Structure formats: structure tokens, C-alpha cells
Amino acid sequence: MKGFRAVIMAAGKGTRLKSELPKVLHPLFGKPLLMRVLDTLSGVQAEEACVIIGHGREQVTAALAAYETNFPLRTVVQEPQLGTGHALQQVRQQLEDWAGFMGNVLILSGDVPLLTAKSLEHLLQAHQTEGNDLTLLAATMQNPFGYGRVITEGRSVARIVEQKDATEAEKQVQLINTGIYCLNWAKISPLLDQLSNNNAQGEFYLTDVIALAVKAGYQVGSAHLDDPDEVLGVNSRADLALCHDILNRRTLNRLMGDGVTILHPASTFIGPEVSIGPDTTVLPGCYLQGEVTIGKRCTIGPHTTMSGSVFIEDDVKVMQSSVRDTRIGSVCNIGPFAQLRDGVDINHHVNIGNFVEVKKARIDHHTNAAHLAYLGDATLGTDVNIGAGTITANYDPIRDIKEQTVIEDGAKIGSNSVLIAPVTVGQNASVAAGSVITKNVKPWDLAIARGRQVEIPGWVKRVKGLSEPAPQN
Ligand code: UD1
Ligand code: CA
């Protein structure tokens, strides 16, 4: 369908979450519910969209400003929040340029994050082919508690009754209102003026528009959604957990279908933005979210987390490690117990071993930091060896600035060395173990920066009285 606009209702408080964060900003795999709805909308090409904001609107506005959509986005403020019908009244009252709009408007809720673009397409298509003035998206739920029930007369939709207003007989109805509609704006929006708040919640229900439209003689229909999981609304922390679980299962099934081995789905958590190449194995206890791309034949986990923007090439092993905003070339070994974060770029055949933290660093191929090191704000060449316990001291706490360390190709850093940045260790240079390096080291030189070893012959024997006292002089 072409030329339609969209409204996303996102002004509610989400009382049942008992949270300081507005409900629609609660994340699922790192992305707020509202942004997941916007992503879905991106798949059906709305002409423009309007988000109704209210509760916590400074936070919601800031989040929207930082988010890119492929359609123009504007906001309307609903204050106070007197219900979903009242929310839509604000669009009618505040957007003057919508008054003459003759097309259709798709209504979405910001708290229904699992909906797919395919289902929206299904709704739009039904609306168009049936020539409806209003089409609601309905689903059949085994446990419909909490949802508005779709009451039919014969084969036609007659009205919607909310859980709190339903009679015992109406509560038995399993056909639920998903809260997603497509409507002819010019015909249906004037009916919003007739809504009343004479109901159990004292709210202006958008759902009452259905009966009003039927009464006015408009053609009202419904599209049925096969998978009711898609329209789970998040009203409580338990709902959030359920959505997380369903979204996870959906992603794991996709990945397994693509040839990824996931040995224990019940303990593996992967966000929908993650892509993984075939013959990669994800071991139990992994939590991968964000813009993560992993190549072929990798082994990830057990117990590994990834977030932010992560790109991993083929044949890489990452074991029991934390990886954020990092790029890793092919045939690298990471971990166990490594942390890579905030702008790390590692070339191929690199080993980062246990208890090594790498932050904002570039590491060229065939370089090793196998144990117990901190490499921050650093550039390492190829074929470098970092001894156990090496620290790049990048932070000057007096001036509160970070400085750079450069370790050029072929350089070897002895164990337990501290490289005080800014400093450069030249090509093929060697730093003796235990050194504190404060000045640049030239290529091919050996730098020793520690107290010289002193030996006192026979000192132990003397202390223990096993030999003559040392001669006095
Ligand atoms: C709503 C529907 C219900 C449907 C269910 C599906 C109504 C009256 N009921 O119930 O039939 O089964 O969704 O998930 O519409 N909002 C505002 N302003 C407000 C109130 C709410 O913008 O004044 C927003 C909320 O932020 C939320 C959405 O509208 O994103 C739905 O509101 P919510 O209170 O969660 O409605 P439900 O009780 O779930
Ligand atoms: Ca809801």
C-alpha cells in the first residue's frame, strides 16, 4: 500500500513496570521497545510517522533524536495521558497539515516490539483489498487475559471490550485486539470527538472507535495474525522477559537455519541484529547483542558477551571473554577471560590471552599478548610480543588526559614492564623485564630501566650462623 502515514502511541507511563525509565525506552537486546517498533515500520515504507509522547518525553525525545529512520518522524505531546483515544485526539488537534489528509493511517503501539513488517503488510493489504474504512489486527490467544477482546456479530466486528470492562462471557473470548489498526483518516478521525471516558479505567479508549465506526455505517474489518507471539505487549517486567525469550528463540532458529551450531539454546542469548556465518559454533552462556557480525568456522564461548559494533572474521576463537566495539581479523585466539572494548582493531593471527584488557588499540598481525596485560590507547605493529604483566600507562590523572603508546614491528616487551605514555618502542627493540619505560626506545636497542641486581656472597649462610662472620674492615 502506498501513501499512508503512521502513528505510534508512546506516551503512557507503564505504571506496572515500576520504573523511572519510560516504558517504551526499556530495551530488548540493547534496543528500546520503541526503536524496535520503528524498525518494523521501516519495512513497510510509511510516508511519515508521528510518535505520541508524554510521560518521560525529554528522555523519549532524546532517544528519538539519536535514532535514524528511513521516513520523516515528528512528535506530538500528549499531556496529561488520558488513554489511547485521547492520544490519537492529540494528533487530530495538533497536526494541522493532517486535517486534509485523505489517505490511510497505520496505528501502532510503542510497547508491542515483536511485530514483523510481514504482518503489517498483511494488515495493510487486507485493509486495501477489502476496501475497509477501518481494519484492526486481531489474533487468537490461548490466554487472552489483559487484552481487549474483539466482539463479533455474525462475521463482522462489532466492538472491542477491554479486560476491565468485560463481562464473564466476554472474558472467554480468545480473539484479541492487538492494538494495531489501519484507518481512513478523513472518515474515522472525526469519530474521536465522540469518545467518552465512562469506563472502568476512566480513560478515553481508542478501541471505542470501532463501535462508533460500525454505528456510523463505515466498513470495519479485521485481519487475523497467525502467530500471537508477535503482538505481545510489554506491560510488566514479566512481559519483557517473555518478549526477550521469544525474540531470542526467533533469532536462534534463524541462525541454526543458516548453519550455525548452537549447542544449548536455553542458555544462549543472541539479539536480532547479530549475523553469524556457517559452521561457527556458539557455546552455552553467550550473550551477543548489537551490530555483531561473526564469520565462518568460529568458536564463540562458552560464557562470552558481545555488544556495540563487533566485526569478527573467519576461524576466530573467543572464549569466556567480553567484546565491545571491536574488530577482529581471521584466525585470532581471544581469551579465556579477555576484555576487548571501545575501538579495538585487531588484524589476523593475533593471540590475546587470559586477563588481557585491550582498549582503543590497533594490533597488527601475528602479535601476542598472551597473559595479564593492559593495552590501552596503543598501536602495536606486527610480530610484537607482549610479556605477561605489561601495562601501557595511558592515563595521566593529574592532567586528566590519555596518552598514546606505540610499539613498532618486531618489538619484544619483557614481562612486568610499564610503558609510560606517550612513548614509542622502535622496530625490533627489546625492553627488559620489569622495566619502567619513560623515554622512546630506538629500533634494535635494548632498554633496561630497573635497579641492577646486587649479590652479597654467602649472606644467607651467615645469617643462619652456618659460616664465619664476614671480616670487618
Ligand atoms: C491496549 C488496547 C487493548 C489491546 C492492547 C494490545 C486500548 C484502550 N486498549 O491496551 O485493546 O488489546 O493495547 O497491546 O487501547 N498510550 C498513550 N497515551 C495514553 C495511554 C497509552 O500514548 O494515554 C500508549 C502507551 O504508551 C502504549 C500504548 O498506547 O504504548 C498502549 O497503551 P496501554 O496502556 O499499554 O494499553 P493496553 O492496556 O495494553
Ligand atoms: Ca500495552
**Distance from Cα 444 to the centre of ligand 2, integer Å:** 68
Determine, yes or no, domain membership for 166.
Answer: yes
Determine, yes or no, domain membership for 458.
Answer: no
| Ligand 1 pocket: which of 64, 108, 109, 180 to mutate (most atoms within 8 A of CB) | 109
Q: Indicate which residue's Cα is closest to atom 37 of ligand 1.
A: 147
> Which ligand is in closest contact with the Cα of 23?
1
**Distance from Cα 109 to the centre of ligand 1, integer Å:** 7
Judgement on whether residues 372 and 425 belong to the same structural domain of the protein? yes
Judgement on whether residues 265 and 355 belong to the same structural domain of the protein? yes
Determine, yes or no, domain membership for 247.
Answer: no
Determine, yes or no, domain membership for 236.
Answer: no
Judgement on whether residues 182 and 297 belong to the same structural domain of the protein? no
Q: Which of 447, 297, 291, 421 is nearest to 361 (CA)?
A: 421
> For ligand 1, what atom is nearest to the CA of residue 147?
12
Which residues line the pocket of ligand 1, CB cutoff 6 A?
A: 9-12, 24, 52, 54, 78, 81-84, 86-87, 109-112, 147-148, 160, 162, 176-179, 205-207, 233, 235
> Which ligand is in closest contact with the Cα of 54?
1
- Give the count of beta carbons closer than 10 Å to the beta carbon of residue 171: 13
195 within 8 A of 159, measured Cβ to Cβ = no
Assign 169 to helix, strand or coil: helix
Judgement on whether residues 222 and 266 belong to the same structural domain of the protein? no
Judgement on whether residues 60 and 190 belong to the same structural domain of the protein? yes
Determine, yes or no, domain membership for 462.
Answer: no
**Distance from Cα 128 to the centre of ligand 1, integer Å:** 25
For every residue of 313-351, DSSP letters joined together read -SS-EE-S-EEEEEEE-TT-EE-SS-EEESSEEE-SS-E
Q: Indicate which residue's Cα is closest to atom 19 of ligand 1.
A: 83
Neighbours of ion ligand 2 (CB under 5 A): 111, 233, 235
312 within 8 A of 298, measured Cβ to Cβ = yes
Judgement on whether residues 434 and 396 belong to the same structural domain of the protein? yes
Q: What pTM did the predictor assign? A: 0.92
| φ and ψ at residue 295, rounded to 5 degrees | -80, -160
**Distance from Cα 132 to the centre of ligand 1, integer Å:** 23
Judgement on whether residues 84 and 121 belong to the same structural domain of the protein? yes
CA dihedral 313, 315, 317, 318 (to 10 degrees): 20
- Give the pLDDT score at 193: 96
Q: Which of 328, 332, 335, 334 is nearest to 349 (CA)?
A: 332
CA dihedral 338, 344, 334, 314 (to 10 degrees): 150
3 within 8 A of 71, measured Cβ to Cβ = no
Determine, yes or no, domain membership for 16.
Answer: yes
> For ligand 1, what atom is nearest to the CA of residue 13?
26
**Axis-axis angle for helices 33-42, 117-129 (nearest 10):** 50
Q: Strand runs (DSSP E) across 112-231, as ranges?
A: 134-140, 149-153, 156-161, 175-184, 220-225
**Distance from Cα 113 to the centre of ligand 2, integer Å:** 11
**Distance from Cα 87 to the centre of ligand 2, integer Å:** 14
Q: What is the largest CA-CA distance in the chain?
A: 120
- Grid cell at residue 247: 525474540
User: Residue 416 maps to which CATH number?
Assistant: 2.160.10.10
What's CA 386's distance to the chain center, in Å? 34
User: Residue 22 maps to which CATH number?
Assistant: 3.90.550.10
Determine, yes or no, domain membership for 473.
Answer: no
Q: Indicate which residue's Cα is closest to atom 33 of ligand 1.
A: 12
Judgement on whether residues 211 and 344 belong to the same structural domain of the protein? no
- Give the pLDDT score at 98: 94
**Distance from Cα 108 to the centre of ligand 1, integer Å:** 10
Question: Three-state SS string across 248-271, please?
Answer: HHHHHHHHHHCCCEECCHHHCEEC
Judgement on whether residues 193 and 82 belong to the same structural domain of the protein? yes
For residue 12, the enclosing domain spans 5-231
Instruction: Tell me the C-alpha distance between 391 and 382, whole Å.
Output: 18
Q: Indicate which residue's Cα is closest to atom 36 of ligand 1.
A: 84
> Which ligand is in closest contact with the Cα of 139?
1
- Grid cell at residue 341: 572494548
375 within 8 A of 388, measured Cβ to Cβ = no
> Which ligand is in closest contact with the Cα of 232?
1
Vertex 138: Cα angle to 186 and 39 (nearest 5): 75
Helix (H) or strand (E) holding 240: helix 237-257
Judgement on whether residues 210 and 274 belong to the same structural domain of the protein? no
The residues, ordered by sequence, that sit 6+ positions from 16 with a Cβ below 8 Å of its Cβ are: 235, 236
Judgement on whether residues 64 and 134 belong to the same structural domain of the protein? yes
| Ligand 1 pocket: which of 50, 51, 84, 94 to mutate (most atoms within 8 A of CB) | 84
Give me the number of domains the chain comprises.
Answer: 2
280 within 8 A of 296, measured Cβ to Cβ = yes
**Distance from Cα 137 to the centre of ligand 1, integer Å:** 14
**Is residue 371 flagged as an active site residue?**
yes
pLDDT in tens, the chain (473 residues): 788 999 999 999 889 999 999 999 999 999 999 999 999 999 998 999 999 999 999 999 999 999 999 999 999 999 999 999 999 999 999 999 999 899 999 999 999 999 999 999 999 999 999 999 999 999 999 999 999 999 999 989 999 999 999 999 999 999 999 999 999 999 999 999 999 999 999 999 999 999 999 999 999 999 999 999 999 999 999 999 999 999 999 999 999 999 999 999 999 999 999 999 999 999 999 999 999 999 999 999 999 999 999 999 999 999 999 999 999 999 999 999 999 999 999 999 999 999 999 999 999 999 999 999 999 999 999 999 999 999 999 999 999 999 999 999 999 999 999 999 999 999 999 999 999 999 999 999 999 999 999 999 999 999 999 987 777 76
Active-site residue identified among 26, 86, 127, 371: 371
> Which ligand is in closest contact with the Cα of 197?
1
Q: Indicate which residue's Cα is closest to atom 22 of ligand 1.
A: 11
Q: Which of 85, 70, 62 is nearest to 40 (CA)?
A: 70
Q: Indicate which residue's Cα is closest to atom 29 of ligand 1.
A: 9
Instruction: Tell me the C-alpha distance between 225 and 221, whole Å.
Output: 13
Judgement on whether residues 45 and 100 belong to the same structural domain of the protein? yes
Q: Indicate which residue's Cα is closest to atom 1 of ligand 1.
A: 179
Determine, yes or no, domain membership for 322.
Answer: yes
- Give the pLDDT score at 321: 98
